Each structure stands twice: as structure tokens, then as C-alpha cells.
Amino acid sequence: MSGWKSFGITALLMAAATGCSSGPKQANSYNPVYKSPDPALDITPQQANERISAETHFAAAQLAEGQGRIPAAVDQYRRALQVDANHVPSLYGLARIFTLSRNYSQAIPAWERYVRATNEDPSAWNNLARCYELADQWADAEASYLRALQRSPEHRQTRINYGLMLAKRDRIDESREQLAKVLPETAVEYNIGSVYELRGMKLEASERYRAALALDPNMREAAQRLARLQ
């Protein structure tokens, strides 16, 4: 016997007892009416969990992530997606966690879902491209950057990331062309120099920092990096 039925019968027995105290005629005329139970009270624990909104799970995931409880955050993001498969903030959170943990085999599918859920937003394509790049899947990275630029040719972050990726692949002229669309010439030389420096190519990096300083002698960042390399 379920909880709501027990409660209903107890209430009816009390009502009947009260009727008896008023005399047999009232007791005989008592006609109880059984009402339908509240459906919210007659659900399984699993159904109750499913009724928790995606936003609630997302908030719990954010709290767990902020506390450094990453497995708990992943679990809550996944619970949110069980409620709403296209919950964009949870897809982003899950993909970001997998990317930061270098779990690219799960990060890439998560970013792909994010792209679909955002209706192929250029920022989503840029994030997927960046993940491909981190996973050393260069062809897929370039294809994704190009898809982002098809959606929005003026998307600044994509131009920068794509330009830097081209520099990493020794496609310097193409890199400079991409970066120049959204950055001043000084910043183009500085960024290419930064890529060279990250790759351990100190001579090439120094040349680019000098080029940046020739364009802007007051560029402190380039001067500091050049001094460090000398």
C-alpha cells in the first residue's frame, strides 16, 4: 500500500469517527469521495531524479568544478545532458573539462555535440578546432577553423588561432596573412615570434621580435622577450 493511499484511508476513518459522534443518521449518510492522488507524490526515485532540471544539475556541476571535485562535476554535467541532450552550458562545461585534462578522445565528441547544439556557431567551431590542434590532429583542426570562418569571416579569435596554427606548421606566409586580417603588423610579428620561441627556435624568434620593435620601438613585451633570448 503506497504512502498516499495510507494517508487517504487514515483521513477517511477519522472523518467517519467524527460523524458517528453526531448520531447514526449522519453516519449512515456519509458518502466518501476518493480523489485522484497528486502524480508528483506517486513517482519512483528515478522519475524524481529525471524531473530535476538541467539547470539544477548544471549549477551543481559548476559548484563541484569550483571546488576542484572534477569527477563530481563531470557526473552532474552528464546528468544535465540526460535531462536535456542539447543543454549548451553543460556541453561546454563537459567539453572544457575533458580538454583541460587532455582527454581528447572524449573532448572531441563533446565539442562536436556542442557545435551541433549551438547551430554551428563559429565560436563552437573554433573550440573544436583548438581541441583537434591540441590532439595533434592538424587536418581536422584546419578544416574546423575554416568552417568557423565560413560561418563568420570576421571572427577574430578564429583568425588568430588559425594563424598561430599555420605558424606552428611552418606555413609562415599563410600565418601572417591570417593574423594580418585582425591584428596590427607589430602584433603579427610578435605572435609569430612567440610561436618560434615556444618551439625552441630562438634565432627565428629573435628576428621576429626585432621586426616588431622596428615597427614599434615602445613594444615592451617584444623588448622583454628579446632580452630574455639574448
Question: pLDDT-derived band of residue 230, with 50, 70 and 90 as boundaries?
Answer: confident
Whether 162 and 171 have beta carbons less than 8 Å apart is answered as no
- C-alpha separations of 200 from 20, 118, 203, 229 in Å: 96, 38, 9, 10
Cell output for 34? 476518493
Q: What is the mean pLDDT of residues 152-161?
A: 96
H or E element that contains 29: helix 24-29
Q: How many CB atoms lie within 10 A of CB 101?
A: 12
pLDDT digits (tens, 9 = 90+) for 85-138: 999 999 999 999 999 999 999 999 999 999 999 999 999 999 999 999 999 999
The radius of gyration computed from the CA coordinates of the chain, to the nearest angstrom, equals: 31
Q: What is the mean pLDDT of residues 167-177?
A: 96
Query: What pTM value is reported for the model?
Result: 0.74
Percentage of residues in the chain with pLDDT exceeding 70?
78
Question: pLDDT-derived band of residue 48, with 50, 70 and 90 as boundaries?
Answer: low
Cell output for 81? 545532458
Question: pLDDT-derived band of residue 47, with 50, 70 and 90 as boundaries?
Answer: low
